């Protein structure tokens, strides 16, 4: 039975603190998946080097993200949790795949365009070839599905293109994976600018997983709703994007449908609604924050988790890498 399980893999960059977009989008669904799939979840630390990092800060963020993963319900006994840079095969496959990826297709990536506009003083080659490293992360483990938020769809698509191109030359070396994108929560918007997605790089509109309850309540109290005259809670993302975003957050955090939320706040203003969303998020995040703090106090345990994860991941990744090296004609040692 064990061998027939489908494989799932995903990763998050330790580029800042996790926010509720990362959580309510992809991460919240991962714990259910570990029961059904053979899951690999990793921390994409090499990817964060595309933007300048403060070394001590980065090391701290990696441990915090690992603790967050476990606190969110990723039991290391039931899935493989590891750190990207601990498995050298990721960088090794990335070099080979760089030679099977076209300049033109990388130039069309929206994340590259966005990030190079944002970091105009540091448009490095790593930022450009980011999707090739991501394709390597994925293809090494031959997954069936890659659960991510909507903004990563294009990266999974280019990974499929690279895999198909390689398979076209050398036979079925890579499984071609599917993106796996949740419907609700796939795109949580910023609380103070509901037209842009909540993003670590714009911390002002973010609610972080480790925020204190009073800060969370304050952030929701100040959240932008809408300037329309009809001040009622109704799901209408086009005309009421601020309210729709809060409904999305409330729906995921409290497990309610939009119709239920509309009924609950029928005849009430935005004040009561925003307070309720804040409360629901505080309650949802409380156990995660407490467990993360507990885990961070136990460095020896975290170390044992990422060491065991690296060993398991390296074994699988090594098999795929050896196959690729052989196919392209590198002499085995």
Residues 7, 29: Cα–Cα separation, whole Å: 15
Residues 61, 16: Cα–Cα separation, whole Å: 7
Helices 153-170 and 299-328, interaxial angle, to 10°?
Answer: 40
DSSP class of residue 208 equals B
Is 327 part of the annotated catalytic residue set? no
Please state the closest distance from residue 298 (CB atom) to ligand ATP, in A.
25
Say if residue 319 is exposed, middle or buried (CB neighbours under 10 Å; 0-12, 13-18, 19+): middle
Q: Which is nearer to ligand ATP, 200 or 231 (CB)?
A: 200
188: partner contacted, choices ligand ATP, ligand LTN, none (Cβ within 5-8 A by kind) = ligand ATP
Please state the closest distance from residue 62 (CB atom) to ligand LTN, in A.
14
Give the binding site for ligand ATP (CB under 6 A).
12-13, 15, 21-22, 25-26, 148-149, 151-152, 186-188, 197-201
Torsion of CA 185, 187, 192, 194, to 10 degrees: -110
The one catalytic residue among 197, 219, 240, 274: 197
80: partner contacted, choices ligand ATP, ligand LTN, none (Cβ within 5-8 A by kind) = none
SS3 328: helix
CB of 181 closer than 8 Å to CB of 212: no
134: partner contacted, choices ligand LTN, ligand ATP, none (Cβ within 5-8 A by kind) = ligand LTN
Give the binding site for ligand LTN (CB under 6 A).
9-13, 44, 47, 134, 137-138, 146, 148, 152, 155
Q: Which is nearer to ligand LTN, 13 or 225 (CB)?
A: 13
155: partner contacted, choices ligand ATP, ligand LTN, none (Cβ within 5-8 A by kind) = ligand LTN
SS3 199: coil
Active site residues per annotation = 115, 197, 200
């Amino acid at each position: 039975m064990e061998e027939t399980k489908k494989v799932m893999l995903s990763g998050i960059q330790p580029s800042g603190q996790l926010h509720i977009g990362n959580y309510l989008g992809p991460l919240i669904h991962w714990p259910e998946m570990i029961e059904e799939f053979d899951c690999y979840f990793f921390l994409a630390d090499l990817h964060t080097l595309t933007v300048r990092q403060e070394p001590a800060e980065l090391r701290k963020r990696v441990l915090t993200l690992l603790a967050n993963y476990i606190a969110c319900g990723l039991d290391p006994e039931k899935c493989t949790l590891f750190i990207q840079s601990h498995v050298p095969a990721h960088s090794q496959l990335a070099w080979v795949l760089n030679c099977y990826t076209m300049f033109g297709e990388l130039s069309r990536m929206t994340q590259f365009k966005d990030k190079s506009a944002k970091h105009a003083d540091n448009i490095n080659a790593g930022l450009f070839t980011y999707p090739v490293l991501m394709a390597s992360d994925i293809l090494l483990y031959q997954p069936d599905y890659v659960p991510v938020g909507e903004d990563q769809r294009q990266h999974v698509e280019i990974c499929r293109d690279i895999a198909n191109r390689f398979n076209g030359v050398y036979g079925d070396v890579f499984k071609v994976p599917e993106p796996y994108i949740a419907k609700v929560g796939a795109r949580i918007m910023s609380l103070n600018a509901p037209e842009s997605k909540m993003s670590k790089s714009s911390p002002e509109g973010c609610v972080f997983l480790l925020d204190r309850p009073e800060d969370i309540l304050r952030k929701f109290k100040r959240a932008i709703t809408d300037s329309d005259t009809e001040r009622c809670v109704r799901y209408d993302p086009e005309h009421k994007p601020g309210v729709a975003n809060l409904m999305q957050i409330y729906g995921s955090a409290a497990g309610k449908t939009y119709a239920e939320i509309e009924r609950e706040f029928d005849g009430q203003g935005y004040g009561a609604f925003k307070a309720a969303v804040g409360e629901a998020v505080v309650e949802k995040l409380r156990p995660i924050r407490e467990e993360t703090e507990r885990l961070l106090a136990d460095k020896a345990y975290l170390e044992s988790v990422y060491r065991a994860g690296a060993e398991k991941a390296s074994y699988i990744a090594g098999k795929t890498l050896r196959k690729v090296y052989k196919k392209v004609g590198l002499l085995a040692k």
